Structures are given as C-alpha cells and as structure tokens.
Amino acid sequence: MREVLAEAAFQLFMERGFERTTVDDIVARAGVGRRSFFRYFPSKDDAVFPDHESCLADMTAFLDAADDTRDAVDVVLEAAGIVLRMYAANPEFSVQRYRLTRQVPGLRTYELSFVRRYERTFAGYLTRRWADAEDGALRAEVVAAAVVAAHNNGLRAWLRSGGEGDAEASVDHALGLVRRIWGEAGPAGAGGTSDDEVVVMVAPKGAPMWRVIQRVESALRED
C-alpha cells in the first residue's frame, strides 16, 4: 500500500505539479481513503521520499554490525553505497524526483533534512570508532561531511545525466577522493594511505620558482 500511494502521488505530481496536488487527489487515484494515506505518510511531502526512512534504517543496521577491525572510513564508504543502490534501483523514479525537488524549494529543504540525518549517522559511527584518538570527534564530523559531499556530487552528476551510465562508477569516483585522503591512516594520520608514493625532485640551485613548481606538477601527474 505504501508503494501504491507513493506511485499515485508521484504520477499526480508530474501531471499537475506538486502544489496543485492534494492528499484527496492522491487517495482518489490510489483508490483508498485518507486514513490509509496518513497511516503511511504524515504529509504529501513524505510521499516524495518513501524510501529514505527504510534506507536509513538499513544503513544504521549495517554500521552497527560492522567489524571494528575494519578500516572505519571503508565501512562508512560501504554504508554510503546502500544509499546509492536505493537511487539506482529505480533510475526513472530517482531522476523524476531529482527534477521535482529542483522545482519545489520546500522539497529540496525536506530532502536536505534526510541528507543531514545520513551525515549524523556516519559521524556517530566514526566518533565511536575514534573515541580514544586525539581530535577523534572533530575528524569524525569532517570525514562524515566529506563522504556525504562526495557521494552527492557523484550521485547528482548521474541524476543530471538523466540516469544514463553507471551510477556506481560515478559515485565511486567521487568517494575515491575521500578514501585517498582519509582511508587507512584513520583519525591519527594526516590523510592519505600507507601506500602513498613519495616524489623526489632535484632542481638546479638558483632555478626560478615557477620552473620548480612546473617540474613538481609534471612529476605528480606522471603515472
């Protein structure tokens, strides 16, 4: 019934517009009473996001069950993948919802409240894992924000494309930056991984600074 109501609501939002669609319209399209609607959704705004609550619950359960011997950042990145799979499971709906939230500021604000809940869940897990580390709580907040920002960057790129291509590849590319900076080193490191390479460059004494910088940039770009 929850899915039926959400589908009916979204059909009407796309046909008539969000503001001009009422709860009475939705229940009439779904063939149920108002009481049935409010049993599943507190408001018509909630019908736009029928999957976030269950996704958040799945993600929280995953973090709670994660092996504490694993790298904490890797665990959080894997948990972020649960959110991605929620979107990728129904590309057409996800793209339509993305376009709708761009048109209705109130829905965008509502969506951001979920994003903030995901971020707090990540931060809570990392804070626990890094409880004994110096600046552990601070690093937890920073890394959680970075994961959400990277995930959203990759996800929105895929949504803007109309759901074309590989959503996972788009998000993995963005999350890879977080993994390279924060992975493995954990809360005690300065960022990067234990496999980071060191580049040594020799420059003639008296070489102009612009030339030194140019050579450094060239060396860093080399594979």
DSSP of 88-121, one letter per residue?
A: HTSHHHHHHHHHHHHH-HHHHHHHHHHHHHHHHH
pLDDT digits (tens, 9 = 90+) for 28-50: 999 999 999 999 999 889 999 88
In this prediction, residue 10 has a pLDDT band, given cuts at 50, 70 and 90, of confident
Grouping H, G, I as helix, E, B as strand and the rest as coil, residue 35 is helix
Mean pLDDT of 132-156: 94
- Return the CATH architecture of domain 2-47: Orthogonal Bundle (1.10)
How far apart are alpha carbons 114 and 93 in whole angstroms?
18
Q: Confidence band (pLDDT; 50, 70, 90) for 192?
A: very low
Helix axes 136-160, 91-103, angle to 10 degrees: 100
User: Taking residues 173-184, what's their average pLDDT?
Assistant: 86
Does the pLDDT at position 2 exceed 80? yes
- The domains of the chain are located at 2-47, 51-188
Average pLDDT over residues 102-126: 93
- Whether residue 72 is predicted with pLDDT greater than 90 in this model: the reply is yes
What pLDDT is attached to residue 191? 40
Supply the pLDDT for residue 114: 92
The pLDDT confidence band at residue 211, using thresholds 50, 70 and 90, is: low
CATH number of 51-188: 1.10.357.10
